[in-house]
């Protein structure tokens, strides 16, 4: 039988996580503290040391799991065992999900909660949910019912996340005693902090400097790992549990609206909104990218809006920032359709957006976002630790402070990280601040 040497020196919360046998354990903390590595290592070691363990690695979305969590597992956790032939990856089939298969009969299934029917049809000893802040309480409760394989002496749900608002279901879950919360610090990560010397490494100095430049709530959460709400948040009634919904096939007879906030160094944002027959708006697709020409954005928009028959449905209107005249003209030329100037009255637009977030008599708001609306995570924005997409921008959108005023707040929000917010405000203002437009189909098909 093959052998491999696994080297791992856990510190702080990572060491506590390895020892913890509580039914639910959440490791929370600042960005880059090694939370995911610690949880993945615990699952890996359990499978290496005990035959026939069944484990599961999950994220809310399958694509996010394959592009991040599985890369970390292969490169930073299981590399020695994979190279020694002790672990093999099986890509899955119509009958079986993808999995890491161990020489001793242990198995780690992998997938997203958006493809969970096969994954959750079996029983496990350990389940690790990465970026658990994306999940709902109901999803976690369903996962817990599958923890009954009985090979390990304990069965456990492991969760890792960066912190969010204190009202989030994960924090409430931990505060209620249902889940043990461990707090991870940057000093726990040996790549960032030399514990023997008692100082930051070169990588650590550079990383902490980037975090120190973050504004407001992002600084509190990502630098210090605090579960805090944004002070002076503009959209206080935003609730991801309510406003972020699972995607569904959009009927062809729903109106479609595109909204665009142009940018190059600052992000370009294109949004595709669907409006149902009751006037609710759903953000179906969103592109947020930097350092690209308008004509390149047009190519991408055409690609993702064209169906298998090579047809595309033109929107009822394309609402754009009228100040970006050159970009607007370029878009119209390459897309082959006209655009409408956005109503940029900010206060009224914010009120229109705010009104749509409120629940109506049927218990539903009039604005919702598909969980998979964002089509690409811009690497430059990720490296700069900027929010990407509407659902990520909203929590940090705050009123500007005005020292000495009675309320200490201005009437304008801070002009920062608001590319998607501006585009969303344009479509809300277009729909709610004037009468219904005449519908004109331009190209494509109806």
Dump pLDDT digits (tens) for 142-177.
999 999 999 999 999 999 999 988 888 999 999 999
Residues 69 and 154 in one domain: yes
Q: Look-up: residue for tokens 């990280």?
A: 417
Residue 318 maps to a domain: yes
Q: Residue 278 sits in which domain range?
A: 240-432
Residue 445 maps to a domain: no
Cβ atoms < 10 Å from Cβ of 376: 13
In the chain, the number of structural domains is: 2
Under a CB-based contact definition with an 8 Å cutoff, are residues 257 and 319 in contact? yes
Under a CB-based contact definition with an 8 Å cutoff, are residues 169 and 181 in contact? no
Residues 184 and 314 in one domain: no
Under a CB-based contact definition with an 8 Å cutoff, are residues 93 and 23 in contact? no
Find the CATH number of the domain harbouring 103.
Answer: 3.40.50.300
**How many angstroms separate the Cα of 167 from the Cα of each of 188, 229, 245?**
26, 8, 19
Q: Which residues of the chain have pLDDT under 70?
A: 1-4, 118, 401-411, 434-446
Residue 437 maps to a domain: no
User: Could you tell me how far CA 16 lies from the centroid of its own chain?
Assistant: 27
Residue 226 maps to a domain: no
Residues 251 and 164 in one domain: no
Residues 118 and 258 in one domain: no
Helix (H, G, I), strand (E, B) or coil at 25: strand
Residues 257 and 199 in one domain: no
**How many angstroms separate the Cα of 336 from the Cα of each of 269, 273, 425, 426?**
19, 19, 24, 21
Residue 291: the pLDDT is 95
Residues 246 and 206 in one domain: no
Residue 408: the pLDDT is 52
Residue 217: the pLDDT is 84
Residue 85 maps to a domain: yes
Residue 404: the pLDDT is 53
Whole-number Å distance between alpha carbons of 356 and 367: 5
Of 211, 231, 257, the position where a domain reaches its end is: 211
Residues 185 and 68 in one domain: yes
Whether pTM > 0.95 for this model: the answer is no
Whole-number Å distance between alpha carbons of 388 and 65: 18
Residue 113: the pLDDT is 86
Residue 379 maps to a domain: yes
């Amino acid at each position: 039988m093959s052998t491999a040497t696994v080297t791992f020196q856990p510190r702080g919360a990572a060491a506590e996580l390895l020892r913890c046998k509580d039914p639910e354990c959440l490791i929370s903390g600042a960005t880059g503290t090694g939370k995911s590595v610690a949880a993945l290592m615990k699952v890996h070691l359990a499978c290496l040391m005990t035959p026939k363990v069944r484990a599961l690695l999950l994220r809310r979305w399958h694509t996010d799991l394959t592009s991040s969590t599985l890369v970390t597992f292969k490169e930073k956790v299981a590399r020695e065992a994979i190279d020694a032939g002790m672990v093999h990856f099986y890509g899955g089939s119509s009958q079986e999900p993808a999995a890491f298969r161990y020489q001793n009969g242990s198995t780690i299934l992998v997938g997203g909660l958006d493809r969970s029917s096969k994954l959750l049809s079996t029983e496990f000893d350990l389940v690790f949910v990465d970026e658990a802040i994306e999940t709902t309480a109901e999803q976690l409760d369903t996962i817990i019912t599958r923890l009954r394989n009985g090979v390990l002496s304990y069965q456990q749900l492991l969760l890792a996340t960066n912190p969010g608002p204190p009202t989030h279901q994960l924090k409430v879950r931990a505060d209620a005693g249902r889940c043990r919360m461990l707090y991870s610090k940057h000093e726990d990560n040996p790549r960032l902090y030399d514990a023997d010397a008692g100082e930051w490494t070169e990588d650590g100095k550079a990383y902490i400097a980037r975090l120190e430049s973050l504004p407001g709530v992002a600084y509190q959460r990502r630098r210090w790992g605090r579960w805090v709400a944004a002070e002076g948040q503009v959209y206080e009634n935003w609730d991801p549990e309510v406003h972020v919904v699972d995607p569904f096939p959009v009927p062809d007879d729903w109106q479609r609206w595109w909204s665009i906030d142009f940018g190059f160094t600052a992000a370009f944002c294109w949004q595709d909104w669907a409006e149902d027959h009751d006037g609710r708006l759903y953000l179906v697709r969103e592109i947020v990218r930097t350092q690209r020409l308008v004509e390149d954005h047009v190519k991408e928009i055409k690609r993702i809006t064209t169906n298998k028959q090579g047809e595309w449905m033109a929107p009822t209107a394309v609402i754009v920032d009228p100040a970006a005249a050159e970009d607007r003209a370029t878009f119209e030329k390459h897309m082959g359709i006209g655009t409408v100037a956005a109503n940029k009255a900010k206060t009224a637009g914010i009120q229109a957006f705010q009104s749509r977030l409120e629940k109506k008599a049927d218990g539903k708001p009039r604005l919702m976002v598909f969980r998979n609306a964002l089509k690409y995570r811009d690497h430059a924005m990720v490296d700069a630790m900027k929010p990407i997409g509407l659902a990520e921008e909203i929590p940090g959108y705050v009123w500007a402070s005005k020292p000495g005023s009675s309320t200490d707040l201005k009437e304008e929000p801070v002009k920062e990280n608001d590319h998607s917010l501006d585009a969303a405000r344009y479509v809300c203002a277009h729909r709610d601040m004037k009468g219904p437009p005449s519908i004109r189909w331009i190209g494509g098909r109806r």
